[in-house]
């Protein structure tokens, strides 16, 4: 089995990282390229960039950000937000992203999952599910749909998704731990990897999630102290989780 993965998520608006990144060691805390490199050096296993503007102008800016990131980053990264067509996905992947993450576009047009998977392979398609009260939500968790979470995860997997990014909207931003029950339910129902998201407040929370699933998405816990990523990894390992060994630079 591959090692458990720790994945910082960066929200990007108009080419700038937004929300809660505060750290004096960085020259420019809003620069996605610099921050990506910083997290990569600190031991992130992958990164996720989420375009929270999701407008046509935002998409153009995002493509250029992706290309700049790809030129300096030697770990994989996923890009989500505003990807509605095969062309959008191609643009982002050809700019250098490893995977695209689909959310509401996959709900309104599930065929999109298979189309992108056929072109780039399943490993290039992540389906993001914002879940709460047993159903899938849209618009950043504000609108509940009638689609049930577990059946949707099963459908996404059968249509060719290579991974599910599962966010508990109730836990998101609360920092009180992941929704382990939800994570377990979804993971047990499918055979593709599942990234747990929403609720990471400390190393123990992350370790709990990694005991039942493949990867954990982290945001504020690491943005508040980007230099603490190495320490966080060590702390997670002290709870019995094996992360990939980092080699010290010589």
Partner 1 sequence: MSDVVVVVDYGAGNTRSVRAALSHLGKTSVVLSDPEAILEASFVVLPGVGSARSAMEHLNKTGAADALRTRFSNGGATLGICLGMQLALQTSEEDDGVTCLGLLEGDVRRLQADRVPRLGWANVDPWNESFYFAHSFVGQSPDTVATSDGFCVAVRNGSFFGVQFHPEKSGDAGLNFLEQCLTLV
Residues forming the site for partner 1 (CB under 8 A): 1-5, 40, 45, 67, 70-72, 74-76, 90, 93-98, 118-123, 162-163, 191-193, 214-215, 244-245, 247, 249
Residues 6+ apart with CB under 8 A from 147: 107, 135, 136
Nearer to partner 1, 169 or 210 (CB): 210
Distance CA 183, CA 144 (A): 19
Least Å distance, CB 243 to partner 1, is 9
Annotation marks residue 11 as catalytic: yes
Report the 10 Å Cβ neighbour count for 198: 27
Nearer to partner 1, 120 or 178 (CB): 120
Least Å distance, CB 1 to partner 1, is 6
In the numeric block, which tokens belong to residue 69?
């990131």
Q: Say which DSSP state 163 is in.
A: E
Least Å distance, CB 223 to partner 1, is 21
Strand partners, 4: 243
Nearest to 215 by CA among 200, 225, 226, 201: 200
Annotation marks residue 31 as catalytic: no
Nearer to partner 1, 12 or 97 (CB): 97
| Backbone angles phi and psi of 71, in degrees to 5 | -75, -20
Nearer to partner 1, 194 or 200 (CB): 194
Cα distances (angstroms) measured from residue 135 to each of 4, 151, 164, 192: 27, 10, 15, 20
Distance CA 216, CA 22 (A): 21
Least Å distance, CB 128 to partner 1, is 15
Least Å distance, CB 2 to partner 1, is 3
Nearer to partner 1, 68 or 202 (CB): 68
Cα angle, residue 39 at apex, residues 37 and 42 outer, rounded to 5°: 110
Q: Are 141 and 132 in contact (CB under 8 A)?
A: yes
Least Å distance, CB 87 to partner 1, is 12
Residue with tokens 């503007």: 53
Catalytic residue among 45, 98, 130, 172: 130
Distance CA 213, CA 228 (A): 23
Looking at the annotation, which residues are catalytic? 11, 130
């Amino acid at each position: 089995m591959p090692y458990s993965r720790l994945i910082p998520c960066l929200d990007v608006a108009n080419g700038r990282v937004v929300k809660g990144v505060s750290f004096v060691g960085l020259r420019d805390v809003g620069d996605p390229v610099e921050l990506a490199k910083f997290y990569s050096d600190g031991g992130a296993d992958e990164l996720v960039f989420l375009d929270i503007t999701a407008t046509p102008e935002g998409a153009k800016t995002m493509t250029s950000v992706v290309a700049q990131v790809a030129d300096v980053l030697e770990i994989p990264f996923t890009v989500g937000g505003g990807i509605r067509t095969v062309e959008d996905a191609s643009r982002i992947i050809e700019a250098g992203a490893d995977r695209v993450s689909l959310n509401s576009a996959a709900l309104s047009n599930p065929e999109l999952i298979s189309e992108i998977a056929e072109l780039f392979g399943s490993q290039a398609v992540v389906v993001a599910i914002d879940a709460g009260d047993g159903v899938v939500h849209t618009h950043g968790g504000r609108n509940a749909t009638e689609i049930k979470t577990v059946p949707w995860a099963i459908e996404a997997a059968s249509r060719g998704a290579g991974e599910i990014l599962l966010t508990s909207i109730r836990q998101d931003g609360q920092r009180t731990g992941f929704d382990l029950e939800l994570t377990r339910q979804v993971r047990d129902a499918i055979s593709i990897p599942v990234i747990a998201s929403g609720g990471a407040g400390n190393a123990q929370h992350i370790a709990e999630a990694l005991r039942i699933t493949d990867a954990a998405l982290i945001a504020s816990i690491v943005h508040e102290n980007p230099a603490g990523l190495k320490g966080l990894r060590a702390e997670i390992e002290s709870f019995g989780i094996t992360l990939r060994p980092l080699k010290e630079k010589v």
